[in-house]
Amino acid sequence: MADLSVDSVCLDVETIYLGGKEHIVRTGTGAVSVIIYGDPDKPALITYPDLALNHVSCFQGLFFCPEAAALLLHNFCVYHISPPGHELGAAAISEGYPVPSVDDLADQILEVLNYFRLGAVMCMGVMAGAYILTLFAMKYRERVVGLILVSPLCKAPSWTEWLCNKVMSNLLYYYGMCGLLKECLLYRYYSKEIRGNAEVPESDIVQACRRLLDERQSTNVLRFLQAIDRRPDLTDGLRKLKCRTLIFVGDNSPFHSESLDMIAKLDKRYSALVEVLDCGSIVTEEQPLAMLTSMEYFLMGYGLHMPSQYSGSPRSPLSPTCIAPELLSPESMGLKLKPIKTRVTSQRLH
């Protein structure tokens, strides 16, 4: 699955597992795994995970939440895109192939959309995946109608992140997916409350993630890390991004301040921030229920809705022409521009 042929985009493999259908799509810079869930006649929701993760380890918690799954699968056909070599069962990518840049990864998304004949799409990304989708939205504005970003990156790496990335790069190169590397990644992903300590065992979510990390090819993870480590700063272009954007960030995320910086740079007419208390970076796994109300209000701006008794079909297609002008304001989402502090069980608006 890690073949990097530069043939024109074509369908290479199609298998069915975990209720979704996998397509391996060849792009100009390598093969990309896409897992499709739902009715392809519905509007498209594109997802992109963080470093060393795929749709199982990054979005499964959200889609296993019945209310969130009902909201998203009722309104969308979901296309889970994995970074090259991050899909389940991926082989190691040959060292002879050049490391893709973040622009290459964004361009791969365009080729995937073109292959499936998708028009403008909704996007959901986590950390590094949020950066790739934001870059995609900036390069191809007509192909994105909305962004749902979880603990997004938007700047070039800080000195702290650069040092951490350097440590992880050396560990991946010399030792592979070793115990110390897993600890670095788990710190990146989750809050200390669920990572556990000498007195409290780590949660089932963290244990499951450890097992999934064992399946990652270290050379493939290193390639994605190198691409992300060389990323340019996007902040100067954020003000020009006109698609509506909803950002979630855990208050214990290492990228919490970066999310605050990003929301400050975005056009306030089209963006809103939700802070999740006692949560790490991957809100989709750690506290998916905290996302539900804000996502529901956000999608109402597109004429999309929670199904009645989780059945039926969308009343409106996902199209900018369906957005009433009054629904373009953050207040119409049920959100305010100041950070929203929320827990799984409740939400407080400032």
DSSP for 111-166, please give it: HHHHHTT--SEEEEEETHHHHHHHHHHHH-GGGEEEEEEES---SSPPHHHHHHHH
**Taking a C-beta distance cutoff of 8 angstroms, is the pair 120, 147 a contact?**
no
Residue with tokens 């608006």: 349
User: What gap in Å lies between CA 197 and CA 13, rounded to an integer?
Assistant: 43
Q: How far apart are CA 51 and CA 125, in angstroms?
A: 11
Which runs of consecutive H residues, i.e. helices, occur in the chain? 55-64, 66-75, 102-115, 128-139, 159-175, 179-189, 192-195, 204-214, 218-229, 235-238, 256-265, 283-286, 289-300
Read off the tokens for 112: 């995937």
What pLDDT, in 10s, does the model give residues 24-63?
A: 999 999 999 999 999 999 999 999 999 999 999 999 999 9
Rg of the chain over all Cα atoms, to the nearest angstrom: 19
The span from the CA of 164 to the CA of 18, in Å, is 34
Q: Two tokens at 49? A: 């995970």
Dist CA 95 CA 7 (whole Å) = 19
- pTM of the predicted model as reported, rounded to 2 decimal places: 0.85
**Tens of pLDDT along the chain (350 residues)?**
444 443 333 333 333 345 689 999 999 999 999 999 999 999 999 999 999 999 999 999 999 999 999 999 999 999 999 999 999 999 999 988 899 999 999 999 999 999 999 999 999 999 999 999 999 999 999 999 999 999 999 999 999 999 999 999 999 999 999 999 999 999 999 999 999 887 889 999 999 999 999 999 999 999 999 999 999 999 999 998 989 999 999 999 999 999 999 999 999 999 999 999 999 999 999 999 999 999 999 999 999 988 875 443 333 333 333 333 343 344 444 343 333 444 333 333 33
Q: Of 237, 10, 15, which is closest to residue 131 (Cα–Cα)?
A: 237
Distance CA 11, CA 337 (A): 43
CB atoms within 10 A of CB 210: 16
C-alpha pair distances (Å), 58 with each of 20, 48, 85, 211, 213: 15, 9, 15, 13, 12
Contact of 3 with 19, CB cutoff 8 Å? no
Backbone conformation region of residue 72, classed left if phi is above 0, alpha if psi is from -120 to 50, else beta = alpha
Question: Position of tokens 């304001």?
Answer: 329
- Residue 246 in contact with residue 291, Cβ under 8 Å? no
The string of pLDDT tens digits covering residues 241-298 is 989 999 999 999 999 999 999 999 999 999 999 999 999 999 999 999 999 999 999 9
DSSP 243: S
